[in-house]
Amino acid sequence: MATILYPPARPQSVGEVLDSAFRIFRVTVFKCLPYAVLALIAGQLPNIYFLANGGVSTMVAATYSTRWWLLYVLGYLISLVLWSLVLVRQHAVATGSDLSTGPALSAVMPRLPALVAMWLLTGLAIGVCLLPAAAFPVPAAYAAAVVLLIPASYVAVQLSCGWAALLLTGRGPLASLIHSWRLTRGNFWRLSVIYTVAVVLLIVLYIVAGVIAAAISLPLAHGDIAVITAVSAVVVVILGAIGTPYYSALALAVFGDLSVRKEGSDLAQRISAPVT
């Protein structure tokens, strides 16, 4: 019988949310790793193209050309689909109804325009918070930007559940962001702790993995720079790929916890409401 990891049976503490995220990550990482690797490669599509057609000098010269931007947008769209596939697969596994690649892709592809719109709206909302810094001269603008990071961070946290809401509830882009704002209302500091701890844990993982990779590659390379570079590139790809299912598992765990909290409070209000 499949273990049900989502949704949680009750509101969770910070530690329990992080533990739920890790358990979802642990049981889904190998199923989702191919998507994550392909997403990482897709994100480097313009660089890969120009490197293959002329080397580093061509890549640098072509940066931000029309073709570079077209490949960048194409790579971003492919990555967005693959990131969303990871979340959908994790949700299916966590609820005990695992999906193969075909059905998961069929669930994600029709939502691609909505996903793009939602991320554009999210970026716009965060960017508006930082926009006043442009009114200051250069030295003061940096200081203003640092101060404005506070409201920008608040908005980012409040909208952090929009991605999961869009994919798992069928809401539109704006409705998903509004739903995220309602779910996260009153939980800013709690969510900030969860996200901060998750980032620190992943950084530690990166450092440990990097040290292990260096300890393995240096003795085997015998000073060969090409071998060291190749091993380093492989480590970067693996670490980047692992990060994707880790953060999507965290997004799923946070969304599940906040949904239970919201539904619980709504139920309490309905029970306490006077009968008319």
Question: Model confidence over 221-246: pLDDT tens digits?
Answer: 565 665 666 666 666 667 777 888 99
Cβ–Cβ < 8 Å for 243, 202: yes
**Tens-digit pLDDT profile for residues 109-163:** 999 999 999 999 999 999 999 888 877 777 787 888 888 889 999 999 999 999 9
Q: Is residue 179 predicted with pLDDT exceeding 90?
A: yes
| Mean pLDDT calculated for residue range 50-56 | 66
Q: What is the mean pLDDT of the chain?
A: 83
Return the beta strands (E) in the chain as ranges: none
- Would you kindly state where each structural domain of the chain is located, as residue ranges? 14-266
Peptide bond into 7 cis (omega under 30): yes
Cβ–Cβ < 8 Å for 123, 176: no
Region label for 161, one of left (φ > 0), alpha (ψ between -120 and 50) or beta (otherwise):
alpha
CA dihedral (118, 120, 125, 129) in degrees, to 10, reads 150
Amino acid (1-letter code) at residue 118: M
